[in-house]
């Protein structure tokens, strides 16, 4: 949207379309009007024949959306006199806007990042959990937005300059908090936000919370299990709405096993379930456990090996895909699983959100305890803190987390609920969901997250702490449901946490990698070269994750700031001359 109402340059739309082609390989649509230009790349999932965008209503409003509105059938029934032009799940947004104005998103159940233009007003909206990404930049020429920051840079709308504050967060937390990104001048539409833009400037913000306020409920155990079964089945049923084949990612853990159990009940055909494993390493190989669960449910199980060769060859591709960077080593198996699933599917259901809503992380159990019993706040220590690697060490990297802690600490919430809310504010949307979105969309695959559903949030978050954590185990209620529904899953057994053996792989080639990382332009200005080399020459348990973070950032910087686009493995990319 231009600031002065001038016609939007078509060549900018061409550049945006090219940069986002991987997100929508099935088609392209655009709208050019006075002062506004819209571009849409389509991944066709629902209404394959007539669901192209932009969509227009009788009064001329234009809509583009990267979305799945799961309750679209129910919403369409509320507008019996509206002549819908398509069978798309997204078209219902237009009559909702005419009825509810800026608050139209309150009726949506799904994942969405959407833009709606009505005369001289632009509205941007993002789903409350932040499943779908949306970014914007306010520039001298006007207001621009896209599903990925790299598209704004490729279109020449924003320069690729590093935000130093966000860089500190990334290196210490492995993700960044709040609305700022690692690029100066590019911001996230926050989860649940609706922005109103007029003449190129934001004039209004509305917010839909992902979680209820937190008043804890008292429920009888048997009734609660029946309620849980109902909300799980309903959510999975909604998330399976698709006109193309779908499958799921199966780890064999509580969340994905419960998801597969519901999918198997709801589907007549065997569910296609994909599992990653790390042969020949000390990492817990989940394939045998997942195979056992899949066999019990009659699923078609596909096992994918992720090895050291994948680590060195795929990391540059992954860093390129993660333009809003997260140094999450789980991106490696996620990326390879998506590549394999994408050969035959367009939709994959994933278990993200189960730990956050049902309280599965060990850090929650620590956060529940008062300080005198060993309790401590989450993320109190950075990955590089105290290692002597950074030229300048501060605690400023924790300011975003502290703001989120204050916002999460509402009256009536328990310590556990505050910890859950804190993760839902930043860790979930700015790490896990970015990872899933970019790794899957790089291969034209849509990731769906049934746990991140308003009905499940209303059910799970207000549960008493005792139904979430008991006897040193998290997800207590979900475990009870799974034990009753699928005994083969061994819901109450203690399993090792998910890990990727990055420290092992880095150790084997640390001497070769050390000088390349130490002289990387990304790290030269902020790190002590000799300390970086020492870290990589002996990445033991304490040094493994810090070394991984530095390697990821160096590769990310090489692609997104230095602009190096040639192929090759980690060593070839880092060895390129400046």
Average confidence (pLDDT) over 201-215? 90
Q: What pLDDT sits at residue 9?
A: 76
**CA–CA distances in Å: residue 301 to residues 33, 72, 297, 517:** 49, 31, 10, 39
Q: By C-alpha distance, which of 82, 85, 83 is closest to 55? A: 85
Q: What pLDDT sits at residue 286?
A: 85
Q: What pLDDT sits at residue 215?
A: 63
Domain with CATH 3.60.20.10 in the chain: 10-207
Mean pLDDT of the chain: 93
CB atoms within 10 A of CB 345: 21
Measured in whole angstroms, how far is the alpha carbon of residue 237 from the centre of its chain? 21
Confidence at 578, pLDDT banded by 50, 70, 90: very low
- Superfamily covering domain 221-374+426-489: HUPs (3.40.50.620)
Six-digit token string for 206: 């509305």
Average confidence (pLDDT) over 51-79? 95
Phi, psi of 93 (to 5 degrees): -60, -35
308-361 confidence digits (pLDDT tens)? 999 999 999 999 999 999 999 999 999 999 999 999 999 999 999 999 999 999
Three-state DSSP class for residue 239: helix
Q: Is the pLDDT of residue 542 over 70?
A: no
Average confidence (pLDDT) over 150-159? 95
368-427 confidence digits (pLDDT tens)? 988 877 778 888 889 999 899 999 989 999 999 999 999 999 988 999 999 999 999 999
Q: What pLDDT sits at residue 11?
A: 87
Q: Does domain 10-207 have CATH number 3.40.1000.10?
A: no
Give yes or no for a contact between 392 and 167, defined as CB atoms under 8 angstroms apart. no
**CA–CA distances in Å: residue 9 to residues 35, 143, 151, 294, 514:** 9, 13, 15, 52, 46
């Amino acid at each position: 949207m231009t600031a002065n109402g001038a016609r939007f340059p078509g060549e900018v739309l061409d550049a945006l379309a090219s940069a986002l082609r991987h997100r929508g390989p099935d088609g392209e649509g655009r709208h050019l009007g006075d002062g506004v230009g819209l571009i849409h790349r389509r991944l066709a999932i629902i209404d394959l024949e007539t669901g192209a965008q932009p969509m227009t209503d009788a009064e001329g409003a234009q809509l583009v959306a990267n979305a799945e509105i799961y309750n679209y059938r129910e919403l369409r029934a509320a507008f019996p006199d509206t002549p819908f032009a398509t069978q798309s799940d997204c078209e219902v947004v237009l009559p909702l806007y005419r009825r509810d104005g800026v608050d139209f998103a309150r009726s949506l159940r799904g994942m969405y990042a959407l833009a709606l233009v009505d005369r001289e007003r632009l509205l941007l909206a993002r789903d409350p959990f932040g499943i779908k990404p949306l970014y914007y930049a306010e520039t001298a020429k006007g207001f621009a937005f896209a599903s990925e920051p790299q598209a704004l840079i490729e279109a020449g709308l924003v320069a690729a300059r590093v935000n130093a504050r966000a860089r500190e967060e990334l290196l210490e937390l492995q993700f960044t908090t709040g609305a700022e990104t690692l690029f100066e001048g590019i911001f996230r539409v926050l989860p649940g936000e609706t922005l109103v833009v007029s003449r190129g400037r934001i004039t209004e913000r509305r917010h839909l919370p992902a979680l209820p306020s937190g008043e804890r409920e008292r429920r009888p155990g048997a009734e609660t299990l029946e309620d849980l079964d109902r909300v799980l089945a309903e959510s999975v049923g909604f998330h399976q709405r698709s006109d193309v084949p779908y499958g799921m990612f199966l780890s064999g853990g509580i969340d994905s096993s419960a998801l597969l159990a519901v999918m198997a009940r709801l589907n007549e055909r065997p569910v296609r379930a994909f599992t990653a494993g790390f042969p020949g390493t000390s990492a817990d190989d989940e394939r045998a456990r997942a195979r056992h669960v899949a066999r019990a449910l009659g699923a078609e199980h596909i096992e994918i090996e992720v090895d050291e060769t994948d680590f060195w060859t795929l990391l540059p591709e992954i860093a390129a895909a993660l333009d809003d960077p997260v140094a999450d080593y789980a991106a490696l198996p996620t990326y390879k699983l998506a590549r394999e699933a994408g050969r035959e599917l367009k939709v994959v259901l994933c278990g993200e959100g189960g730990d956050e809503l049902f309280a599965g992380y060990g850090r929650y159990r620590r956060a529940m305890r008062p300080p005198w019993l060993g309790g401590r706040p989450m993320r109190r220590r950075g990955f590089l803190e105290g290692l002597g690697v950074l030229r300048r060490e501060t605690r400023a990297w924790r300011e975003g987390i502290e703001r989120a802690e204050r916002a999460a600490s509402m009256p009536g919430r328990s310590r556990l609920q505050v910890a859950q809310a804190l993760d839902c504010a930043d860790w979930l949307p700015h790490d896990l969901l970015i990872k899933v979105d970019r790794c899957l969309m790089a291969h034209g695959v849509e990731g769906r997250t049934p746990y991140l559903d308003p009905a499940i949030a209303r059910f799970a978050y207000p549960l008493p702490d005792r139904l979430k954590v008991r006897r040193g185990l998290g997800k207590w209620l979900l475990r009870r449901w799974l034990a009753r529904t699928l005994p083969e899953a061994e819901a109450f057994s203690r399993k090792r946490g998910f890990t990727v053996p990055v420290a092992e792989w880095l150790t084997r080639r640390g001497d070769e990698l050390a000088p390349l990382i130490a002289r990387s332009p990304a790290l030269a200005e902020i790190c002590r070269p000799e300390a970086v080399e020492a870290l990589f020459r002996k990445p033991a348990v304490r040094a493994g994750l810090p070394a991984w973070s530095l390697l990821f950032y160096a590769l990310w910087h090489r692609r997104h700031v230095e602009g190096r686009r040639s192929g090759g493995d980690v060593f070839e990319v880092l060895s390129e001359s400046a």
